[in-house]
Copies of this chain bind each other. A is one copy, B any other.
């Protein structure tokens, strides 16, 4: 099994985004220095990440952007399809179920569930909305390992339990709840408000000195 540090692992999505953006404008190579400046991290750290990914740069050119992007995709398993259910068909669930580009990363939404009788049977992003009462049976029937949770706070824990008991191994959690799951099940908490917190701090301190120390 391949292994890199947790901190490096957390940087991979950003690397991937930067590489994709540069590739889209026709760039072929990027230097560790450029990457370090965009990510605002030490260049040594970028070089270490690249070494961990077993990516080598060329003298005076840097890293091949497409090779590095593909290496990250391979490492993260993005080239294989992952099927997922969106649980909760509110605004956020709808946004995620219709998000353009997920399939580009191997993420395929195969169903949307909701508890609202007025929503059940309507279509969201090409999917007919199904009752959450059928969550377990759909997970089992389709052998789903990932759910995207966008339900209200008061039902998040209950539906998590149902999903895990039905065989789900990963939960992409967009609710503000801390979910308790058994060992072997991975939760990714998507704290939308976290991004605002960083900006809030910046706005409240604009005009002061640099607002943060280095890493």
Contact = CB atoms under 8 A, between A and B. Distances in A.
A117 interface: no
A3 interface: yes
Contacts of A196: 82, 102, 105, 107, 172, 188
Contact of A78 (B1, B40, B90, B197): B197
A118 interface: no
A111 to B, nearest CB: 16
Nearest to A91: B95
Interface of A: 1, 3-7, 9-10, 12-14, 16-18, 20-21, 38, 40, 75-78, 80, 82, 90-92, 94-96, 98-99, 101-102, 105-107, 145-146, 169-170, 172, 176-178, 184, 186, 188-206, 208-209, 211-215
Given A13-B194, A77-B205, 16 more contacts: A1-B209, A9-B212, A16-B197, A17-B194, A76-B201, A77-B200, A82-B203, A91-B95, A99-B192, A102-B196, A107-B196, A145-B203, A146-B199, A169-B202, A170-B199, A188-B196
9 contacts: A1-B209, A18-B178, A77-B203, A90-B95, A92-B95, A145-B203, A146-B203, A170-B203, A188-B199
